[in-house]
Structure 1
Amino acid sequence: MAAHAVHTRKADERPKMRLDDHLPVDHRLNRVYRFGAGLIGAFLIVFGILGLIDHIGYFNTGGAKVVGLNTNGSLSVLSICIGAILLAGMVIGGNVASTLNMVLGVLFLLNGFLFLGLLDTGSNFLAFKIQNVFFSFIVGLLLMTFGMYGRVGHALPYDNPYWRARHPDPSPQEQRDGPERQDPRRGQVR
Structure 2
Amino acid sequence: MAHIPLNHPARPIYRLLAGLIGLYILVFGVWGTAQTLGDPLFDRDGELVLGLRTNLAFALVSVVFGAFLLVGASRRGNLGHYMNLIAGAVFLVTSILMMAVLQTSANVLSFSMSTVVVSMLFGLILLGTGLYDKVGPVEHTETEQAGPGHPVADQNRS
- Tell me the percent identity: 33
1:64 aligns with 2:32: no
Q: Deviations over 1:71-93 (max 9, x none)?
A: 00010110000010111111112
Shift of 1:105: 0.3
Q: How far apart are the structure 1 equivalents of 2:120 and 2:99?
A: 10
The residue that corresponds to 1:23 in the other structure is: 7
Aligned-partner SS, 2:105? coil
What is the CA-CA distance between 1:160 and the residue it aligns to?
A: 4.4
Higher helix fraction: Structure 1 or Structure 2?
2
SS of corresponding position for 1:120: coil
Unaligned ranges ≥5, structure 1 = 1-21, 152-158, 164-170, 174-190
Deviation for aligned residue 1:129: 0.7
CA drift at 1:35? 1.1
Indicate whether 1:107 and 2:107 are aligned: no
Relative to the length of structure 2, the TM-score reads 0.77
> What letter matches 1:148 in structure 2?
L
Work out which structure has the larger RCO, using CA pairs closer than 8 Å and 6 or more positions apart in sequence.
Answer: 2
Residue among 53, 56, 73 paired with 1:90: 73
Query: Which of 41, 57, 70 in structure 2 is aligned with 1:74?
Result: 57
Aligned match of 1:45: 26
Runs of 5+ consecutive residues of structure 2 not aligned to the other structure: 1-5, 135-139, 150-158
* Offset, 1:23: 3.3
Query: Which consecutive segments of 4 or more residues in structure 1 shift more than 4 A?
Result: none
Please give the root-mean-square deviation of Cα atoms over the aligned residues, in Å. Answer: 2.2
Query: 1:136-151 counterparts in 2 under 5 A?
Result: 136-149=119-132
The question of whether the paired residues in 1 share the 8 Å contact of 2:18 and 2:129 is answered with yes
- Which residue identity is paired with 2:16? F
Instruction: Quote the Cα distance in structure 2 between the aligned partners of 1:95 and 1:58.
Output: 35
Match of 1:123 among 106, 130, 133: 106
